[in-house]
Amino acid sequence: MSTHILRSALLCLLWTAVRADYEDLRGRQFCAARPDPQCCQSRDDDCSVPIEGTKCYCDQFCDRDVRGDCCFDYKSHCLQIPEPPEEIKQCYFEGQYRMAGERWDNNCNTCECKFMVDHMDVMCTRKECLIEENIIDDINRNERSRGWRAGRIETFWGHSLDEGFEKRLGTLYARKPVMNMLPKEIYVEEGSLPASFDAIEEWPNYVTPPQDQGWCANSWVWSTIGVASDRWGILSRGEYAGLLSGQHLFSCNSKNQKGCSGGYLTKAWNYILKFGLVTDECLPWTGDTPGRCSITKKPQAKFAKCPGSTRNDVLRRIGPLYRITGEEQIMKDIMEKGPVQATMRVYRDFFVYKGGVYKCPEKSRRLSNVPLKSQHSVRIIGWGETTEYGRREKYWIAANSWGREWGENGFFRIARGQDECNIESFVLAITYNTKIKCLSRTEDPTSPAMLNQHRLRFLSIKLVLLIYPVL
């Protein structure tokens, strides 16, 4: 069998080479390049032109039968018979013609129109794409039973499935001691929780919108920044409302973190607790390389100079970190203090989610104990119930970091109370010391009063770090 394949391959290569040489000879001048007379009557053996180690002829005798030895341009030049039109070499692919040698992108794959022995054919790479129309169609055919719908995300079009898993997640699995962190005890009085709650409706000026992490596996940054920013605004009662700097956390929290290849949530939170963050206004996102930290990195620093500016910004510290377990406990913490951070497993169909209450595929449930290289982290901002598909469904409302085109304007709903995709397994939140007044936009961070306030805050943070060592 292998000998047959090898012979076929050699014949194919030989034919391709011969055909290429033949096409090259057809385009050259022979009779037209002779000195006069260029064309000869009857038989004249001297009426010839050298060609590839032999001769071709430009006399009438050369055109005697099918075995003639005329030069390629004898009929067109000597007999004035036009050459037949050259065969158009093209391929027909998905409703349009492509010329020989033409290359084009087909979603995440590259295709080329090629001559294959005796016919034209389209050859494409065979990568699995992040967006596949057949998967979207299959989900939507069963929308009612699934409880959610899929759609094409233009931002993801042209990218492979491997790229999605490698560059659109980015939260590394916590080490065993961290996973064994004891949860905070939260008492929930029976009947005290409403059927629905949305942090955006409760605190419209403080909850930040979904961000877009781009093609960088750093959901660890944006879920952390989102929860920190939201809770800073909520728990400080509006003394500061806005987005903290994702660039600051990404660039400066580089020790044992992997930048665009993933990061640990607890290390991110401990950085904020120890060093603090400036605002996004002070240091906006640029995607600059991790490790190139442009902000002062000292535990005792109270404020930092904004890069490229004379302006100073307070380093906002928030913490310590705690873990929450239990559906009602998570709900109560959100209702009283703001959004929480959750990690989840991501499967292929989640990339095409466009609305409804998401559930992991059944086969994914059976694989729940299979370790993955990384997971995804998001913000849970509320909860609710729906009967959209004829049955009661409880859900969480969560903010993703894949931009506003994805999902429900950047948000998604996922089944609540059954640890769907492990989203209830590792939920984190942070506190904020409201006894220490934060700096308003009009106050001078270098004033004696502000410096004294920062000294008090620094002492309280040192005490917290002694109680909660870095994980």
234 plus 379 within the same structural domain: yes
Cβ(446)–Cβ(304) under 8 Å?
no
37 plus 113 within the same structural domain: no
Q: Measured between alpha carbons, how far is 196 from 397 in angstroms, rounded to an integer?
A: 10
For residue 261, what are its two tokens? Answer: 């290849």
Q: Which domain holds residue 103?
A: 90-124
172 plus 76 within the same structural domain: no
Q: Measured between alpha carbons, how far is 406 from 212 in angstroms, rounded to an integer?
A: 10
Flag whether 321 is in a domain. Answer: yes
Residues 275-290 have pLDDT tens digits of: 999 999 999 998 877 7
Flag whether 10 is in a domain. Answer: no
Q: What is the pLDDT of residue 435?
A: 45
Residues 393-449 have pLDDT tens digits of: 999 999 999 999 999 999 999 999 999 999 999 999 998 754 444 444 444 444 555
Contacts of 376 by beta carbon, 8 Å cutoff, 6+ apart: 168, 169, 170, 171, 219, 343, 344, 345, 346
For residue 12, what are its two tokens? Answer: 């194919």
Task: Answer whether residue 220 shows pLDDT above 70.
Answer: yes
Q: How many domains does the chain have?
A: 3
145 plus 103 within the same structural domain: no
296 plus 344 within the same structural domain: yes
Cβ(209)–Cβ(410) under 8 Å?
yes
Q: Measured between alpha carbons, how far is 321 from 217 in angstroms, rounded to an integer?
A: 23
The pLDDT of 445-469, averaged and rounded, is 47
Q: Measured between alpha carbons, how far is 39 from 63 in angstroms, rounded to an integer?
A: 12
456 plus 408 within the same structural domain: yes
Whole-Å CA distances, 22 to 16, 51, 204? 10, 12, 74
Contacts of 460 by beta carbon, 8 Å cutoff, 6+ apart: 433, 436
Q: Which of 63, 98, 124 is the last residue of a domain?
A: 124
pTM score of the predicted model: 0.75
Residues 97-153 have pLDDT tens digits of: 999 989 999 999 999 999 887 789 999 999 999 999 999 999 999 998 899 999 999
Q: What is the pLDDT of residue 9?
A: 52
Residues 50-78 have pLDDT tens digits of: 988 889 999 988 887 766 788 888 988 99
pLDDT-derived band at 196 (thresholds 50, 70, 90) equals: very high
Cβ(195)–Cβ(223) under 8 Å?
no
Peptide bond into 37 cis (omega under 30): yes
Flag whether 132 is in a domain. Answer: no
For residue 148, what are its two tokens? Answer: 């959610």
Cβ(445)–Cβ(303) under 8 Å?
yes
Flag whether 6 is in a domain. Answer: no
Q: Measured between alpha carbons, how far is 412 from 392 in angstroms, rounded to an integer?
A: 17
255 plus 352 within the same structural domain: yes
Query: In terms of DSSP bridges, do strands 411-415 and 353-358 run parallel, antiparallel, or are they unpaired?
Result: parallel
Residues 198-217 have pLDDT tens digits of: 999 999 999 999 999 999 99
CA-CA-CA-CA dihedral for 153, 158, 162, 163, to nearest 10: -80
Flag whether 67 is in a domain. Answer: yes
296 plus 374 within the same structural domain: yes
Residues 333-390 have pLDDT tens digits of: 999 999 999 999 999 999 999 999 999 986 555 444 444 556 999 999 999 999 988 8
Q: What is the pLDDT of residue 464?
A: 42
Peptide bond into 320 cis (omega under 30): yes
293: phi then psi, degrees, rounded to nearest 5: -85, 120
End-to-end CA distance of the chain: 60
Query: What's the CATH number where 198 sits?
Result: 3.90.70.10
Residues 222-272 have pLDDT tens digits of: 999 999 999 999 988 888 788 999 999 999 998 889 999 999 999 999 999
Three-state secondary structure string covering the chain: CHHHHHHHHHHHHHHHHHHHHHHHHHCCCCHHHCCCCCCECCCCCCCEEEECCEEEECEHHHHCCCCCCECCCHHHHHCCCCCCCCCCCEEEECCEEEECCCEEEECCEEEEEEEECCEEEEEECCCCECCCHHHHHHHHHCHHHHCEEECCCHHHCCCEHHHHHHHCCCEECCCHHHHCCCCCCCCCCCCCCCCCEEHHHHCCCCCCCCCECCCCECHHHHHHHHHHHHHHHHHCCCCCCCCECHHHHHHHCCCCCCCCECECHHHHHHHHHHHCECECCCCCCCCCCCCCCCCCCCCCCCEEECCCCCCEEECECCCCEEEECCHHHHHHHHHHHCCEEEEECCCHHHHHEEEEEECCCHHHHHCCCCCCCEEEEEEEEEEEEECCCCCCEEEEEEECCECCCCCECCEEEEECCCCHHHCCCCEEEECCCCCCCCCCCCCCCCCHHHHHHHHHHHHHHHHHHHHCCCC
261: phi then psi, degrees, rounded to nearest 5: -115, 10
Whole-Å CA distances, 85 to 67, 82, 88, 89? 22, 9, 8, 12
Flag whether 179 is in a domain. Answer: yes
Q: Which of 70, 98, 124 is the last residue of a domain?
A: 124
pLDDT-derived band at 462 (thresholds 50, 70, 90) equals: very low
Task: Answer whether residue 465 shows pLDDT above 70.
Answer: no
Q: What is the pLDDT of residue 461?
A: 42
Q: What is the pLDDT of residue 466?
A: 42
Cβ(125)–Cβ(109) under 8 Å?
yes
228 plus 367 within the same structural domain: yes
69 plus 94 within the same structural domain: no
- How many Cα atoms within 13 Å fall on the side-chain side of residue 191? 0
172 plus 54 within the same structural domain: no
Would you please indicate which residues are annotated as catalytic (active-site) residues? 376, 400
In 10 A of CB 97, how many CB atoms? 11
441 plus 349 within the same structural domain: yes
